[in-house]
Every structure is written in C-alpha cells, then in structure tokens.
Amino acid sequence: MSEDNDPHALMVDLSRILPDINSYDDIPPDLERYGRCAILRNGGFWFAETLSIHPATTQEGFYWGLAGNVLYISPRGAAFNWEKFITDDFIRFIAGKAGLKRRFTRFKVINAEENW
C-alpha cells in the first residue's frame, strides 16, 4: 500500500492557499474544518478553530484546513520561504490540537515546494 493511500497517514499539503475567513458559512465546501495557527515570538505554538484571530504576539501566522486525510497549511498574507517554519513539531502540535492523533498515527508532507 502506498503511503498516499495509507488510512493511518495524515497528508500535510503546503501547496494550497487558504482564505482568511471569519464565518463558518465561508469555509470552502471541500474542507471539514478550518482554523488558524501560529508560531509566537517566544517560540511557542498557538492553535484555534474558525472563529478566531491570530494573537498580537504572532511571529508567523498560518491557516489550516482539513479534508479527509489531508491537512492543508498555508501562510497568512504574503510570505517568502514560509515552509521552513512548518516543522515536524509544529505539525504534531496542530494534529494534536485538532484531535487528529487518534485518527492518524503518522504524517507525510506533500507538495511542499511544487507551487513555490
């Protein structure tokens, strides 16, 4: 079985640009969930669902969306070389806060540089 078809693997896709939304009605129809996450100036991580705003202490802000076994992560606003901030620890943090660790036992980053 290929990793892409592995039901226990979360595919982390960095190629999609997610919109900045503030209403459940505006979530793209293919996404089950949507929210925001960030790396804070003190090095900590932050996570929230749809109805949220990035904290004032944000160093790098991102949007996340979930569609099946794909977790999309995209930058907030225009960003250069933002993928370097998407570390294994940050992905594990997002997956844990989103309750995905019970559903998936591993993850694979896909499409990291195809569109950048």
| Cα–Cα distance, 66 to 68 (Å, whole number) | 6
Q: What is the pLDDT along the chain (116 residues), one digit of tens a residue?
A: 345 567 789 999 999 999 999 899 999 999 999 999 999 999 999 999 999 999 999 999 999 999 999 999 999 987 788 999 999 999 999 999 999 988 999 999 987 654 33
Q: Is the dihedral of CA 48, 53, 55, 58 positive or negative?
A: positive
Task: Note the pLDDT of residue 4.
Answer: 56
| Cα–Cα distance, 11 to 73 (Å, whole number) | 11
Task: Note the pLDDT of residue 111.
Answer: 72
3 state SS of 66: strand
| Cα–Cα distance, 59 to 74 (Å, whole number) | 15
Task: Note the pLDDT of residue 112.
Answer: 60
Which of 111, 103, 87 minimizes the C-alpha distance to 37? Answer: 87
Task: Note the pLDDT of residue 108.
Answer: 92
